[in-house]
Amino acid sequence: MTAPDGPAPRAALDWRTRVVIRLGGLLVRALSATWRYRIVGTEALLARAPRTDPVVFALWHGQMLPALCGHRFRTGVLISEHKDGEVIARIVALFGMFSVRGSSSRGGARALLEASRVIRDGLDMAFTPDGPRGPRHSWAPGALLLSHRSGAPIVFIVAHAARVWRLRSWDGFEIPKPFTRVTVLYDAPRQVTAADAREAAEQTDAYAAAMLDALARVRAMGEAR
């Protein structure tokens, strides 16, 4: 299994892809350094003693860039096992996070076990509940199952950029423009209460609606600045 403090095993990538990843990472670092961040709701998370009170972060797939570039917590990120996921895993590593490989469609049980171990070791985990294939703003049950199994609460991370490029992809992937204002909200922790795993997994629609509500609130915050 992957050690929480180390990278996941890497699939082979050709040298051109590796160069693109490295250059892309440098470009994202340079771009994100120009963003004017306002981060809300991290007080309790920052006050935690090291490796205590871990949480399960949830963020929309299309908001990975503005949400994770401003992220300041050692976190494992659930990333799919296909080749595109390997590219994302390496980019995530450039920002000090580590990957747990798997998805609801492939390697899900093994990934859930590994994510549970990360939580037991006192580190946070992050899920994109509508990834890797969507539909956009839907919820797969992985984060709910991990929260129910581990007792770690779910914390939504939602973002709003005042000026943004939005790709024509299924997730509407967002790239904030240079020097724009970016507001990130870490919403209040939500404890998954359920009698068993099946009941926990049945809460996907409720959590999707709650996260969309949090997205509306962060948009209001950002537009009020």
Residue 161 in contact with residue 180, Cβ under 8 Å?
yes
Per-run averaged pLDDT (10 residues), the chain, 225 residues: 46 75 85 96 96 97 92 89 71 83 67 93 95 91 96 98 96 96 98 96 98 98 91
175: left (phi over 0), alpha (psi -120 to 50) or beta: beta
CA–CA distances in Å: residue 173 to residues 34, 85, 140, 151, 168 = 19, 15, 18, 31, 8
pLDDT at residue 1 in the model: 37
pLDDT at residue 104 in the model: 55
Task: Give helix then strand counts, H and E, for the chain.
Answer: 8, 9
Please state the domain extents for the chain: 36-224
pLDDT in tens, 120-158: 999 999 999 998 889 999 999 999 999 999 999 999 999
Task: State the Cα angle at 51 between 46 and 52, rounded to 5°.
Answer: 75
